[in-house]
Structure 1
């Protein structure tokens, strides 16, 4: 349990370190504009899946909340790393919230957040 917590803490620290500086407000406004657009990857509407299953912890604009912010997660984690966290859980995040094609599509989308 301690190892999982430390991994979550390290991952969150890396994500927070990557998003500092003046670009933060620009990233936030870009996400706000994109939040109304539909994003479909391999036939999966990732925005819909994210809003239904992820936004309550990670925020509607990837800004974080109970869970870490994800607006720049692609700078520190690969698609495969993100998919592993989604499917296997990490820290407070339970495993299997989404799986299969949905997990792959959301992971690809989040990996593009840089």
Structure 2
């Protein structure tokens, strides 16, 4: 039985073209989602309803530590004794010195600053 050696190459070419076409079409849909921000409204609602501790666990724990002891960021223990709530709020809102800004939604800044000031 003689087999044609071109058949495997043809199959690979046809499958490759088909896969490329499929991924291109899928990519167009993904591009629209990315252009729209890629975030859905439910994630924003969850953050708006989150407690300061939940926001801390989601955004701050990697730098300030699980027990507020500081890892790559400073310790938050006793920060309320060193700074007033307004200073803490400004730092959370604007960031600086390695602290990123925008981790806490604007409507939660006051609540978060008050919570951080009470960490002992």
Q: In which range does the TM-score fall when normalised by the shorter chain?
A: 0.5 to 0.7
After TM superposition, the score normalised by the length of structure 2 is 0.55
> Do residues 94 (structure 1) and 100 (structure 2) align?
yes
Aligned-residue offset at 1:113: 2.5
Higher relative contact order (CA 8 A, sep 6+): 1
* Runs of 4+ displaced beyond 6 Å: none
Q: What count of residue pairs does the alignment treat as equivalent? A: 72
Greater fraction of residues in helix:
2
After TM superposition, the score normalised by the length of structure 1 is 0.58
> Do residues 77 (structure 1) and 83 (structure 2) align?
yes
For 1:102 and 1:54, the matched residues in 2 are separated by: 14
Worse-matched range after superposition: 92-101 or 72-81: 92-101
For 2:86 and 2:105, the matched residues in 1 are separated by: 13
Aligned-residue offset at 1:109: 0.6
Decide which structure has the larger Cα Rg and report it. Answer: 2
> C-alpha root-mean-square deviation of aligned residues, in Å?
1.4
Per-residue CA deviation, residues 51-91 of structure 1 (Å, 9 max, x unaligned), is 10111100011110000000110010111101100111120
Decide which of 52, 59, 64 is 1:53's aligned counterpart: 59
Structure 1 portions without partners, runs of 5+ = 1-42
Decide which of 60, 67, 72 is 2:73's aligned counterpart: 67
**Pairwise mapping of residues 1-40 of structure 1 onto structure 2 (< 5 A)?**
none
